[in-house]
Amino acid sequence: MGYLGKYFRRHYRMFFLAIIILMLETAADLTQPYLMSSLVDDGVLKSDLMHIYRQGGLMLMLTAIGAVFAFSRNIISNTVAAEFAKDLRRDMFSKIQGFSMEEMDSFSRGSLVTRLTSDVTQMQNFAGGMMRIFVKAPMIFLGSLFMTWRLDPRLAMVVTAVIPIVVFLMYLNVRIGYPLFRRMQTSLDTVNDRVREYLSGVRVVKSYGSEAAESRAFDGASGKLAYDSEAAMRTMSFFSPMIALVLNLTLAVILYLGGMFHSKGEVMPGQLMAMVNYMTQLLFSIHMIGNIFNVFVRAKASHERIDEVFSSTGGEKDGESELKGQVSSLSFDKVSFSYPEGSGICAIQDISFTVRSGETLGIIGSTGSGKTTVANLLLRLYDSEDGTISLSGMDIKSIRLSSLRRKIAAVPQRPVLFSGTVRDNMLWGKSDATDEEIRKALSLADAIGFVDSSSEGLDTRVGRGGMTLSGGQKQRISLARALIRRPDILILDDSFSKVDAVTESRIRESLKSEAEDMITVLIAQKITSVMNCDKILVLDKGRLCGLGTHKELLAESMEYREIYRSQIGEVEDGAR
């Protein structure tokens, strides 16, 4: 049962209540043909009006009771199925939130969306069906078979002989259909990935006029989904009519034999009517069982895909210690790291440095030199393979993630804002922040001007991903969101790349007073952004090429001098 066990334990009372009501409803349905037989044979044929009224009234009462049971069962089953799906989605989302970045990278984003939506819906449909037709159909089948044997064993033998044929067709249906439906869900993942990629890069697509290429790529993914869907549906389209054909032929044989027996006086009219009704119920239940297997095939494929999420055994490895007090120092001691899905080349190799409270560490290097990797390791989005990263002398692997990340605020290279207002986004940094605190943080980031220029102020709508703001405005709000936390460590990952030099200068002046007790890690492409840092770390292809002040590096680091020369010009003797 795997991950499903806890959901069964959570909802089993309502589940069994629905099953009990379903059994009562089925008993009412199975009793109707028997009462009709008595009404015809003992009432109509014998002209016993009282018996007709009595049996007819009993049939009406059972019909009403069955309707009440069906109504109650539908309400309970729909409620339980919806609650099950809600719990499953919530737990899946929590599991995904706990994924390490290695695990997150192993699933495509579109695949995770499909598993949270389409696959959970398939499981919800199956769970709801279990409390409706999935249990009722076998009960109707067994009850009708028992009653047909009781009424006329000769006709019952015909049905019994057909059952192995139907079971074999159902087996083939599952055997052939399951891999097709699993492949269909995988194709749906690809379509979701294409849509997600287009929507996230729509501005680039439009600016390059690449709509036609995107349409071709989407058509390819959509065509693959259509092909796989058609293959799965063709399987269902073949087996369902085949089962229906076998069942209808069986019913025709029963009607023919029943007519012969009646003409010989071996079967009473009411008995034959009851037999036909039971046969109809029995054959209908077999047909429904065939449909159950169709739903089961889809649910089985979805179940395994969901189970892959829950079975992922990695997750972020939490520490056990709390990081208390102000962080006094940050140090890397011979740290090396390679990304799991990379080419095997170290992202950073044998990096060592120490920076203390109140100091600013600048990190500079060419694209792909490992600058952002340092920030990722510090946040423990990934764990280093070799070496030790310490805060105030404590190995960060021993620190609780919640405690570690409370001390750090990061402004990523590509700022991420959420749909809502400016205030909503600021509250991500500090959930209980007052408007005064929000305005102060926005002022520090030089963002209060354009916020106040809007008639709605802090209630200005941002839009999904900050789409209503310019790149520089998004960076400044992202910076303000980090500053409102008053972190011990502030990571600025190329956070001034989209603001002009004057604005960057104003922000730096504002940050000086705030950074007195803060460790600031400033990652930048522009050498002018790091020239005034207390220490500058120079990286090249993951290797440490220099560590010191601007003046020291000009004198000692060839790589730093080359960056200076390419961005500013020749190094004058007095600048060294």
Q: What is the pTM of this model?
A: 0.66
Q: Which of 179, 181, 149 is CA-nearest to residue 163?
A: 149
510 contacts 480 by C-beta, under 8 angstroms? no
Beta-ladder partners of 411: 492
Q: Is the domain 4-310 a CATH 1.20.1630.10 member?
A: no
- CA 73, distance to chain mean position in Å, is 30
Q: Which of 289, 72, 296, 270 is CA-nearest to residue 152?
A: 270
Q: Which is it for the CA torsion 63, 64, 69, 72, positive or negative?
A: positive
List all residues 6 or more positions away from 534 whose beta carbon is below 8 Å from its beta carbon: 355, 359, 360, 361, 549
The pLDDT value recorded for residue 344 is 52
476 contacts 445 by C-beta, under 8 angstroms? yes
- Fold designation for 413-486: Rossmann fold (3.40.50)
Report the C-alpha gap between 337 and 349 in whole angstroms: 7
Hey, do 4-310 and 413-486 end up sharing a CATH topology, with the first three levels equal? no
The pLDDT value recorded for residue 285 is 79
Q: Burial of 449 by CB count in 10 Å (0-12 exposed, 13-18 middle, 19+ buried)?
A: exposed
Side chain identity, residue 557: S
505 contacts 343 by C-beta, under 8 angstroms? no
Q: Which of 43, 505, 575, 537 is CA-nearest to residue 270?
A: 43
Adjacency order of strands within the sheet including 519-524: 394-395, 386-391, 329-337, 348-356, 543-548, 535-540, 360-365, 519-524, 489-493, 408-411
List all residues 6 or more positions away from 240 whose beta carbon is below 8 Å from its beta carbon: 290, 291, 294
Residues of the chain with pLDDT under 50: 343
Q: Which of 212, 170, 78 is CA-nearest to residue 132?
A: 78
How is residue 378 written in tokens? 């510090």
The pLDDT value recorded for residue 343 is 47
Could you name the CATH architecture of 325-407+488-495+517-576? 3-Layer(aba) Sandwich (3.40)
The pLDDT value recorded for residue 356 is 92
Q: Burial of 7 by CB count in 10 Å (0-12 exposed, 13-18 middle, 19+ buried)?
A: buried
Report the C-alpha gap between 34 and 22 in whole angstroms: 19
Side chain identity, residue 554: L
Alpha-carbon Rg for the chain in angstroms: 35
Domain locations along the chain: 4-310, 325-407+488-495+517-576, 413-486
User: Which own/partner pairs from 453-461 qualify as long-range (CB within 8 Å, at least 24 positions apart)?
Assistant: 456/421, 457/422, 458/421, 458/422, 458/423, 458/426, 459/421, 459/422, 459/423, 460/421, 460/422, 461/420, 461/421
The pLDDT value recorded for residue 1 is 55
DSSP state of 532: T
Report the C-alpha gap between 251 and 446 in whole angstroms: 81
Strand 394-395 to 519-524 pairing: unpaired
Could you tell me where the beta strands, DSSP code E, fall in 298-401?
A: 329-337, 348-356, 360-365, 386-391, 394-395
Report the C-alpha gap between 272 and 254 in whole angstroms: 10
149 contacts 219 by C-beta, under 8 angstroms? no
Q: Which of 324, 326, 320, 376 is CA-nearest to residue 348?
A: 376
Q: DSSP 3-state assignment of 365?
A: strand
Residue carrying structure tokens 């991420």: 416
Tell which phi-psi region holds residue 344, choosing left (phi > 0), alpha (psi between -120 and 50) or beta.
Answer: left
Residue carrying structure tokens 């389209």: 237
355 contacts 330 by C-beta, under 8 angstroms? yes
Q: Burial of 138 by CB count in 10 Å (0-12 exposed, 13-18 middle, 19+ buried)?
A: middle
User: Which own/partner pairs from 551-557 qualify as long-range (CB within 8 Å, at least 24 positions apart)?
Assistant: 551/575, 551/576
Measured between alpha carbons, how far is residue 477 from residues 162, 221, 300, 410, 463 in Å? 71, 37, 46, 12, 13
Give the pLDDT confidence of 210-244 residue by residue, as tens digits. Answer: 778 778 888 888 888 888 888 877 777 777 778 77
**HEC states along 57-104?**
HHHHHHHHHHHHHHHHHHHHHHHHHHHHHHHHHHHHHHHHHCCCHHHH
- How would DSSP label each residue in 264-327? TTSS-HHHHHHHHHHHHHHHHHHHHHHHHHHHHHHHHHHHHHHHHHHT--------SB---S--
Report the C-alpha gap between 266 and 254 in whole angstroms: 14
